[in-house]
């Protein structure tokens, strides 16, 4: 059964990667918006949406406060993780992982969705942190929100090993 899930996820990943370059330029990965609509929204607007989500999460749980100075800081608005060193990316991954697992109990809330939108746009968590995203939201596997996130996650073959 686990291998069946792994093969289904692998097929989904391959279908997504076959998307043409032209379409990929018109469509962006998004948790809140349709792909074409997301492509028309500038990074500053997504940052504002994400920051608003973080602000709301901070009102619910003060442990989110630390992320205002890291993942949701104006200083990272232009960060391109592809250009970062291995060590910088390791620190970034750890911060993202910590955020995701702290956010997990709130996954179905609007503030969490807003915050995730920023992390998807800026840090491409659906590509670089696919295992952590999936592990954090797995308890919600019967929800529409889970399926929405699953459709934008890009799995590598090594990621699928966790399914058997």
Q: Which residues of 37-71 are buried (b: 16+ CB within 10 A; e: fewer)?
A: ebeebeeeebbebbbbbbebbbeeeeebeebeeeb
pLDDT of 68 over the 50 cut: yes
For residue 61, the Cα-to-chain-centroid distance in whole angstroms is 20
Instruction: Give the confidence band of 152 by pLDDT, cuts at 50, 70, 90.
Output: very high
Angle between helices 144-152 and 110-123 (to 10 degrees): 0
pLDDT at 16 (0 to 100): 47
Q: Which pLDDT tens digit goes with each residue over 25-44?
A: 457 899 999 989 999 999 99
Token pair in block for residue 44: 């500053």
For residue 121, the Cα-to-chain-centroid distance in whole angstroms is 8
Give the separation between CA 26 and CA 37, rounded to whole angstroms: 9
Q: What is the pTM of this model?
A: 0.82
Q: Which pLDDT tens digit goes with each residue over 96-145?
A: 999 999 999 999 999 999 999 999 999 999 999 999 999 999 999 999 99
Give the separation between CA 35 and CA 67, rounded to whole angstroms: 27
């Amino acid at each position: 059964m686990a291998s069946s899930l792994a093969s289904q996820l692998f097929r989904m990943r391959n279908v997504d990667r076959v998307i043409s370059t032209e379409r990929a330029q018109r469509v962006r990965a998004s948790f809140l918006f349709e792909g074409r609509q997301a492509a028309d929204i500038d990074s500053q607007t997504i940052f504002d949406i994400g920051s608003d989500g973080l602000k709301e999460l901070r009102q619910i749980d003060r442990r989110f406060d630390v992320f205002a100075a890291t993942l949701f800081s104006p200083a990272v608005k232009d960060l391109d993780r592809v250009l970062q060193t291995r060590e910088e990316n390791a620190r970034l991954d750890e911060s993202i992982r910590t955020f995701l697992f702290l956010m997990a109990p709130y996954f179905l809330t609007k503030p969490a969705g807003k915050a995730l939108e920023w992390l998807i746009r800026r840090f491409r968590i659906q590509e670089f942190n696919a295992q952590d995203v999936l592990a954090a939201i797995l308890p919600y596997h019967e929800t529409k929100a889970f399926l929405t996130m699953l459709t934008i996650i890009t799995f590598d073959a090594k990621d699928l090993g966790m399914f058997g």
